Amino acid sequence: MAGRAAEPHVIWARPERAGRGPRPAYTRDEIAAAAVRIADAEGLDAVSMRHVAAELGCGTMSLYNYVPRKEDLHELMVDAVSGEHELWEPSGDWRADMLRVAHQTRALMHRHPWLPRLMSPVYGFSPNALRYLEHCLACLDPFEASYGTKLELVAMVNGVVTTYVSNELATTERTRSLPWSQEQEDAVRIAYLGSRIASGAYPRMAAAFAEDSGPIDLEAVFRRALTRVLDGFERTGGSA
């Protein structure tokens, strides 16, 4: 029996091929791709060991030869889609590069709506995450600051992207596990909110809703948030 579990491990430190027995039928990439396919199509909750095994065409328990725990499967998934990041030659304008990074990550998360839920610093050192991080640091070469500050900047940008995309996707993704439609859900919640606001107990909320500047442009909100964050770093500059 291999490192079936029960003792600490990182999936990346496990060799894919163990030399001794019959050659494994699947690669880690194939397994990750199968899981990603399911998550994209049916949501993260549909990614069960049984389901992924079926997608691969093998018995459920065979999966455990490749992935000691379900969490490791999640780690494979995050790394797999992290590989979709396009890395370019830094332009010399770190602000522009960081904006480009952020927009790319946002697009990635829209392509894989389950990704925000799996975002964790714990997964931040997978192979593709390291490539991505190194690329961000390269983009920040022109930014005069310590590496500590640069890492804080990268963390902040990633955090803002994750937060905003989570919010953008919240109702849609939530509806997946509900027996009614998103429109119904939204309608009910907005009706309740309206009734609370009409109670007069929240005058500023009422004023905010009275402003009513038409439909919200989520991408514009996102862009403004990013701009402000980068402004905050530019002001502090290399200090701290």
Residue 127, H or E segment: helix 127-139
Q: Give dist(CA 101, CA 140) in Å, integer.
A: 11
Residue 128 vs residues 85, 88, 183, 201: alpha-carbon distances, Å: 9, 15, 37, 50
Q: Strand, coil or helix: what is 124?
A: coil
Among 189, 198, 217, 219, binds its own copies (CB under 8 A): 189
**Considering the rule CB under 8 A, would residue 88 count as an interface residue with its own copies?**
no
Site for DNA in 34-73 (CB under 7 A): 46-51, 58-62, 64-66, 69-71
**Considering the rule CB under 7 A, would residue 5 count as an interface residue with DNA?**
yes
Give the shortest CB-200-to-DNA separation in angstroms: 28
Helix axis angle, 182-198 to 147-175, nearest 10°: 100
Q: Which two tokens stand for residue 169?
A: 């996707």
Give the shortest CB-36-to-DNA separation in angstroms: 15
Taking the CB of residue 123, how many other CB atoms lie within 10 A of it?
Answer: 17
**Considering the rule CB under 8 A, would residue 138 count as an interface residue with its own copies?**
yes
Which span (23-31, 40-48, 80-88, 190-198) binds its own copies, by CB under 8 A? Answer: 190-198
**Considering the rule CB under 8 A, would residue 202 count as an interface residue with its own copies?**
yes
Distance of CA 110 to the CA centre of its chain: 9
Give the shortest CB-198-to-its own copies separation in angstroms: 12
Looking at beta carbons only, is 53 or 140 nearer to DNA? 53
Q: Which residues here bind DNA, judged by CB under 7 A?
A: 1-2, 4-6, 17-26, 46-51, 58-62, 64-66, 69-71
